[in-house]
Amino acid sequence: MRAAVLAALLALGLSIGARERAATARELALLGSAGEDRFVTVTLPVEDDWQTLEDGRKRLSAQSFRVALRDGRSLDIGRRIFVTTADAPPDVIDAATLDAEGFLRRTTRGSYRLTVKSSRLMAPGGEARRWSPAYWNRRLVRALRNAAGTWRVASLGCSLVESLVLGRPARLPDEMLESYQRGGTYHLLVFSGLQIAMLAGALRWLARMAGLRRSADALLLAVSFFAPAFVGSDPSVSRSAWMLGLLIFTRVWERPVSATNALFASALVRLVSCPWELDDPGFALTYAATAGIVVVGRALAGIAGRRSGGLFAGAGAELATFPLTLLWFNRIVPGGSIATLVSGPVLLAMLVAGVLACVLAPISPNGAFVVLDAIGSANEVVVAINRFVADGAGLSIAMPAPPAWLVAAALACAVVAIARGRIALVPFALALPIAASIALAVVRGDAGEGELRLLDVGQGDAILLRSGRGSILVDAGGSSRDPSIGRRLLVPRLADAGIRRIDAIVLSHPHPDHCGAIPAAMRDFDVGRVVVGRRHVSAPCVQRVLDEALRLGIPVADAEAEGTLVTGTIELRPVDVGTRFRRAPENNGSLVYAARIAGRSLLLTGDVEKEAETVLRYDHAAELRAEILKVPHHGGATSSTPRFLDLVAPRIAIVSCGRGNPFGHPSDQVVNELKSRGVILLRTDIHGTVVLTFQENRVFVKREFDTPSATR
């Protein structure tokens, strides 16, 4: 019987997966027929309000949409879409749908992005259903934001209430997210099982107080359906609701099951209905953390001779999620359970206060403001705890990711041990990936004669030069539109390389795609010094770097005064342009370095354009010839002039740029110029992270298959 049920579920899952592949093929075919511009009309349901990004643009998201082409064809697409505009968007709080015209593209994560140039190309349609729980969720968001106003602390408190109570974490500052992630308390920020359990417990208590004991289970079952309808279809919410609903349903049906069986059954049913979640970190972490509390925590308590305990439950959740957090985020936080226990009461008080703020916001904005201000202030306590765990105690550690097959094998062994009743073996099975990660860190810690890593950080520059155990990082990537690139992309790439210390971080120029992620690197690694050009220090991005360096006590050096940088076989000698440019002054004012590593010559050019290239050709011709060229300005058409390339005469050219970037980098003109000279061209948008290893007067080129980055 069990085999038949499993076979039926497997067949259903395969059927759903086949439909998903067919749907993806239809989407790609339709978008391909739209032409290169892909200017289409999109209709999406209004599920949220507009969010303000760091660069001032507005963004609206939905779980599905309909795309219509100019030839009359249309297609319903059941994937997430983000609509962005730099113009003032229309009010959508009372609308049911939004029609928008713009440039549509599919991201590497499978979602879609629509860029709209003007508010005149957007039109709200219909009226939101007043009886819909999601509609009242949006009304509460609007009331809370009006109550908070522009006061920074109250606005922060409002963002926390939106995340903790209303399930809308989009407005949380990235600095806060990084603090919670590094402190091991990130899971407390999202609306998930904790909130649903609290709501269910409160309703159950009220039902018993009212003498409605028989109605308590029915109320809990209603919660499992109401929560996703009110908060939205966020997977973390629906997964928690499914687990609760399954447990209550079996009890109402008078066929109660254990928490372990309910957990595995819920995961199996979820995978069958949503097979695309198989590679979703959130799915695995949700069930691994729950299993850690229910199973591993008990095993640890049994080993210690105790029956139970909150510390053992937290340690069990940590141990169960360690292999997955290492695989996806390159991080372990051994003190996360302690930080959770210490900061848990504060966050619980913030959650209760958040419910009060939601009650007060529509009727007493001033009262809600006081509560929101208190929540924003209380958050500083949790941030301080996270900082102590991560920075003070050094318990947040970026490490290389273990092999995916080893993580899968460890989890499989843990499941088999649970099924056979050998619970005590579970902690030892889960510890295997951690041991492998430590071994990888030791092995990769020494780069030998020399190594150059062109890190894949999207549309940005990040070049890691290594020799022995010494290293220099030239630029670090980043983005004004996505401040999470440092913790999502840069830190995992550096950790995978076995980096623990960076002797110097050099900033070529102050654009966010070069310096935005530097603070993240400074927080997670031992940095000797930061080198910045004096003409760049007034830029906002550089100011954030300087502020973080001051907080962490990292020395900052002036590039001109510092002169040549040397570590191991690495030598970076500055080529001073010195000229002030009217056109693109920051790009043309990039620091240029003539470098050598293990006897090989490199030219690192930042984002210089043809004006600076002309000055370099006339004033520093003898210093420019190099075997390896970091192509200027991501291969843009405003750089890499034929005369400049003739003078450098590289054998290998490396280009750092994002997949499908809107700038068209690298330009066909530059690519053709390099190919016509027989230059080997290596690009992060095609090859991912590129590694050049220097051994015995030879250069070895290989691709680095990076671990998956955190997804939202």
pLDDT of 575 > 60? The answer is yes
Q: Which amino acid is at 71?
A: D
The reply to whether the predicted model has a pTM over 0.85 is no
Mean pLDDT computed over 169-189: 80
Provide the pLDDT for residue 682.
94
CA-to-CA distance for 309 and 272, rounded, in angstroms?
34
pLDDT tens digits along 194-250? 566 666 666 667 667 776 666 666 666 666 667 777 776 566 666 666 666 676 666
pLDDT tens digits along 473-502? 999 998 877 778 888 899 999 999 999 999
pLDDT of 469 > 80? The answer is yes
Q: Are 666 and 679 in contact (CB under 8 A)?
A: no
Q: Which range has the worst mean pLDDT, 156-170, 238-252, 369-383, 523-537?
A: 238-252
Cα distances (Å, whole numbers) of residue 61 to 111, 168, 380: 10, 12, 30
Q: For the sheet containing 470-474, what is the strand order?
A: 556-558, 530-532, 504-506, 470-474, 463-467, 450-454, 689-695, 698-704
Mean pLDDT of all residues belonging to the chain = 82
Provide the pLDDT for residue 307.
56
Q: Which range is most confident: 73-87, 133-147, 505-519?
A: 505-519
Domains along the chain with CATH numbers: 2-128 (2.40.50), 445-704 (3.60.15.10)
CA-to-CA distance for 281 and 286, rounded, in angstroms?
8
Which tokens go with 369? 């403001």
DSSP 47-69: -S--EE-TTS-EEEEES-EEEE-
Cis ω before 666 (30° cut-off from 0): yes
CA-to-CA distance for 31 and 240, rounded, in angstroms?
35
Residue 693's H or E segment, with its range, is strand 689-695
Mean pLDDT computed over 373-395: 88
pLDDT top residue among 75 and 570: 570
Provide the pLDDT for residue 712.
34
φ, ψ for residue 73, nearest 5 deg: -75, 150
Q: Which range has the worst mean pLDDT, 409-413, 525-529, 657-661?
A: 657-661
Mean pLDDT computed over 626-635: 95
Q: According to DSSP H, which parts of 485-601 are helical?
A: 485, 491-496, 512-515, 518-524, 540-552, 559-562, 585-588
- Three-state secondary-structure class, residue 499: coil
Provide the pLDDT for residue 284.
76
> Given pLDDT bands bounded at 50, 70 and 90, which one contains residue 427?
confident
φ, ψ for residue 439, nearest 5 deg: -65, -40
End-to-end CA distance of the chain: 39
φ, ψ for residue 397, nearest 5 deg: -120, 125
Provide the pLDDT for residue 59.
87
CA-to-CA distance for 117 and 103, rounded, in angstroms?
9
Percent of the chain at pLDDT above 70?
79
Provide the pLDDT for residue 39.
77
Residue 506's H or E segment, with its range, is strand 504-506
pLDDT top residue among 38 and 376: 376
pLDDT of 35 > 60? The answer is no
Provide the pLDDT for residue 651.
94
Mean pLDDT computed over 581-587: 86
pLDDT of 36 > 50? The answer is no
- Three-state secondary-structure class, residue 338: helix
Provide the pLDDT for residue 194.
59
> Given pLDDT bands bounded at 50, 70 and 90, which one contains residue 29?
low
pLDDT of 436 > 60? The answer is yes
